[in-house]
Amino acid sequence: MKPIEQPVPARFYRSPGQVMRLTRMGCSHPTRLSFLRQLLRRLKKENWSFDRPVWQINHEGVGHAVYWAQGPERCYSLVAFAHNLPEEMRSDRVIATAWDATFTLFDGTPSTADIERLERNVPLQEAGRISAKELSLSRANRSVRLFEYVVKELAQGRQPERGRLEQTGYLMRTTAVYGTGKFGAADRGNLVGRPEMQAPFQAEMLSVWLTRAFTVDLVEHLAAEQGGMQAVKLDPALRRLLGVGNSTGLGMAPFLVRHPALIHHWFAAREEALARVRSQPKLTSETIDQFFEAFRAAQENVVQWHSEHPLQVAKLKELREGLRKLQIFVHEGWDVAQVYPWDALWQWGELELPMEAQEALLALLLEPHWELVDDLGDQMATDEEVTFKVDGCQSIGELRKHLHSHFAWALGMDYQQPEQCARFWYVSEEKLEPRLGERYCEPGAELEQPLDIGRQVAELCDVLKKWSDRTPVAHLLLVRPEFRSIVRRVQLSAHYPFAEIQENLISAEMLPIDLLRSKLAFFGATRFDPRSDRWVRISLFQGEPYPDELNNTDVS
């Protein structure tokens, strides 16, 4: 199979109107283009090496450690601080002030002075300051039910039960991973010219991956402290079952709205990948074997994926049923010798599978086609500065045309109806956390954040009724400057069709967890487990190799 050279015919693409709907985004699955997969492929391909040069953790599990990742040109160090957190202070909320462990990813190798500086600031998280020498700031809490159990078992010379590891899936979960520019950290501008940092969220992913190694090292250390000679290390096969948990709330949702050009690149790359696979006129024995291997992994994953939230319970039921139907079809109904066999499978899936399983099928189709799709990872970043502009010469008529072509989804709603503007996004005074309020029963709507894109578009459309088609947009913005940002988005949509989530984000029906799942799937998150309609837990790197295994593991 060779990389694609000709443009893919339009019939193999899904439209933005089909893709950018919350119901579908809320069924997203990680793919081989997900950011953590991109990271591991690069580390493996470039033969990065890893070490733990510092381990100063005492018998109570308090102290610090440094994990070192050396690439072909630069090295990065995870500096981890382990704390003794009283039980009553353990909270996953962003408003917490203490954690079991805190971390930063350092650019290079930290000196003793750097460690001292970081020790004064990193444990404080938002209340401290880091510098342009740091690329991330994060913290994690122990999974109490699993962490103590694993320590106890290892201390007594036993391996923990596989089922218990699978059930929780992680020893610690991060409750915030701050990246670019936060609290003084390096900006993307500092990282220009570093290929390893060009794909989105690579510093954050590297930080979490090294954090995963730290969590295992910490339980083995505590087991050795408690069990002495009797203690054993965690079996590598069991260790693989563990990822890093993540507990996240609404904080990451506004990102998807505030970065339209970037989001376009994420979705456009994924859709291009799907189209490339669908447009393959025939398949090979290698790709079909790898497809079935990926299918088996997906079937195993869904068995281990649990949630008690009613919405996710229903989705998991759909996914299990869908995968069962797919299993039958690929063995009994799919003609692999036909022209465009992958497209035939996809089209069958669109007709026969629930949406949850359709999106799982998308991930499965990409999996064996690494030669065809992996280069698209390079297209998932963009310089947003370039798109921060308005074309003042554009005529109102042209603007109106774009508005009706790309925002029809927003224009059919009556935003005066209470159910269409039931919510408002705001930033809480308490720790600056994004939240979603009920407009008619909570205070603060006058301080609404501008995430109501649909409503803003409708207002612009209304205002334009009084303007002639030939007038340049510059004249409109001279007298109505408040419309500049929405005019920019409308103009952007002509070139970036996947830039907008095509939903009313202030409606009573909107489910914030759909936004979260979509973004987390691009990260590479698995085991999506909502705790409410705006609060979820997930796992990162579960099943993936550890630093000491990377060179002997196929991550392609």
Partner 1 sequence: MSPENQQVSEDFCTSSHLWFSQSELQQLVVKAARGAGYSWSDAEEIGWAAAWLSKFGLPGGDFMLSLMQSNDLQAPRPAALRWKGNSHPHCPLRCGLALMDFAQLPEGLGASCLVIESMTGLPCFLAFAARTARQIQHPLQIQWEEQSLFVHEDAWPSVEIDQVSMEFGKTVDVRITRSNSDMVSIETKNPQYCVRVSKQFLEQLEAFAHQTLVPATDLSRLRAGSHDDPTS
Binding site for partner 1 (CB under 8 A): 87, 90-93, 107-108, 113-114, 117, 129, 131-133, 141, 143-145, 180-190, 247, 249-250, 388-390, 392-393, 426-430, 432-433, 435-437, 442-444, 447, 450, 472-474, 477-478, 481-486, 531-532, 534-535
Q: Which is nearer to partner 1, 232 or 511 (CB)?
A: 511
Output the six-digit token pair for 320. Answer: 């299990």
The helix (H) or strand (E) run that includes residue 366 is: helix 355-366
Q: What's the closest the beta carbon of residue 308 comes to partner 1, in angstroms?
A: 11
Q: What's the closest the beta carbon of residue 47 comes to partner 1, in angstroms?
A: 25
Q: What's the closest the beta carbon of residue 247 comes to partner 1, in angstroms?
A: 7
Q: Which is nearer to partner 1, 375 or 398 (CB)?
A: 398
Q: What's the closest the beta carbon of residue 490 comes to partner 1, in angstroms?
A: 13
Q: Are 130 and 185 in contact (CB under 8 A)?
A: yes
Residue 433, judged by CB atoms within 10 A of its CB (0-12, 13-18, 19+), counts as: middle
- Can you tell me the distance from the alpha carbon of 62 to that of 191, in angstroms, rounded to the nearest whole number? 32
Write the CB contacts of 527 (distance below 8 Å, at least 6 apart in sequence). 169, 243, 304, 305, 306, 537, 538, 539, 542
CA angle in degrees (0–180, nearest 5) for 208-190-432: 60
Q: Which is nearer to partner 1, 270 or 517 (CB)?
A: 517
Q: Which is nearer to partner 1, 8 or 445 (CB)?
A: 445
Q: Which is nearer to partner 1, 132 or 339 (CB)?
A: 132
Q: Which is nearer to partner 1, 193 or 228 (CB)?
A: 193
Q: Are 175 and 100 in contact (CB under 8 A)?
A: no
Q: What's the closest the beta carbon of residue 27 comes to partner 1, in angstroms?
A: 22
What does the DSSP assignment read for 31-96?
-TTSHHHHHHHHHHHTT-EEEEEEEEE-TTS-EEEEEEEE-SS-EEEEEEEE----GGG---STT-
Q: What's the closest the beta carbon of residue 497 comes to partner 1, in angstroms?
A: 23
How many CA atoms lie within 13 Å of 190's alpha carbon, on the beta-carbon side? 14
Q: Which is nearer to partner 1, 325 or 531 (CB)?
A: 531
Radius of gyration of the chain (CA): 25
- Can you tell me the distance from the alpha carbon of 381 to that of 389, in angstroms, rounded to the nearest whole number? 18
Q: What's the closest the beta carbon of residue 186 comes to partner 1, in angstroms?
A: 7
